[in-house]
Structure 1
């Protein structure tokens, strides 16, 4: 694989550099200030405080340079400080920062909507509405589906994560830390079993879909169901890739039963999986597609895009928000889309994924605690288990992640059982840092038998 050119802040060296213990003294000081100033409910995976970032590195206040295998949870997909994004945001900030699109609109919002209508799957007539966060967009997708169908129930899936608002907490499967103590949750939300090949005996996609549909028909009834909401590859749930045919069978059932199929592509969208959207791997065309995270290079933006007749169901004034489609975020989003195309980042995601899967699979052949290596593109995970079993090993997962952090490698964990290491490197990650990060992981597994 040829060395991939990395961009970042001017002169930012693309190297792992550990000059203090991690976190270092200045980061520890800031962490003490956080404890005194910030609500304790806001957790921190790795309390190093960042002053610069770009390409494949994060530089902290102590001068440490960390390899970034997290991308701010899939947000900085095109890289931190991507040149086109920086230029576009600076130019927009100099013109104006806000007017509220619902009061006095501007063309940036329209241009983003036009781009999403063009790029999302399907050639049908589409409409888009912009919001601030993935959770807000998911919630509005449900609102739109209910308005269109005049039905109320919503189905989500085992291991799902859809957000932290009241409705999206209800859609989310995992209790801690997302739901515990925050009820009562929104009503008319139901759950169906997912296709999880590693844990459901290798059930094929069609059979797994039939199992899910049986639950839906018995417990909800299609006559009551407004929407089925699913992540094509689950994020927080463990980067679970459903068996082939599972998603398509659900789409077919939805279309036969006047149910809106909503693809939550908040974490999977915008080249992350080696296609522009994860449903493209399945050849699926959602009725509504929800996007956020990687859409705007780190600025808050989210969208719901879908079939015009569904999207236009809510009455005028029924959708919107003060900051939705902020002009700075819209400028960033347009620059992100330009960067993905100009730098061939869909192909880059495939190349990163190929390297990661090959290296992690090689480790797996020597270590039976790596139960499964899975994912698509630059969205890769390893599910860790007790040796030669499928029993989840959350303690090992925490140990490996902590060791990586101490050596200047940012990794994230996930999974219903807390036993999955997930890797989301920015697509600006240079090859030598990708390889070095994988070397670090391999060494850590060897040192923690």
Structure 2
């Protein structure tokens, strides 16, 4: 086609018909350069039915040619006009010229990119069709494989259930009393249900595990764990770990020892007088008066005997505090015990004014802190707000700045 004999309008129409964007104000030579590109060659993938059992593919080699040399020379000639141009950001006219140049050059780049994408899509079209057809045929095979595999899976599940039932029955036979406190799941190994280990080998391993658990159980009962023997056994049956069970019993013993010591110290620190039982003794019954002569002797009513007063003995304040502390964590119990010890200690230095800065606290928490402060002889008052806010309310802004 003779593009040079065509007008700009005709060239623009031809470009639009081919899907090539032409921008307003584009030169005729630029439009001709875009239209002079050769059409790409299509690549066909043909499946030849030579062997029905195999996928035979005959591919025609693809080839793409374009007028890259002419296009690159044309682009270089355009860019050469901008090499010596040095627009100024202080000039409004230069800024507008930069905007026009940017739009023009971006338009050229977009045309090349869109043409490249069109060629790529056209080139990949036969490949996509080939992959779609081959994948559809492959999926038919995979569907049949899935149906067959479902049957295999069902058979394997039945095999596992049969093997597991045999091992469970054997466990009930060899475990004895152990089966009542240790479930089969705690002894079993999931690998036993695989195909490779024979059921007889699994039974032998099961017997070895039962013997080890029974041996550890006997060793645990031989330990002198005092009042915490049952708790240690419960721990052992949960973990089947002898060392962990013994360590757990020792921990419980240490916790009890620490709590008993705290109770004893609190009781000696704040001991109240215990109410004494009443020493009241009932008076002797008064002798009845001699009856007067009468047709019918009259017996006087007996004088009621006073009963001893019922006295309710309240527990000491120390024991009440100790019982409340039983619900605390051991770490908190230790902190309370240390605070009580410090409260009993004689101050080494003379008291001086101090300020306690608390990040945040509820009313109940402040009340508790106040009582603990009173326990060690510290007096004062709580004021809400930050240190700066309290100073401002109490002494004014000048106090803060000073």
Superposed pair shares fold, TM > 0.5:
no
Report which of the two has the higher share of strand: 1
Rg larger for: 2
TM superposition score category, shorter chain reference: under 0.3
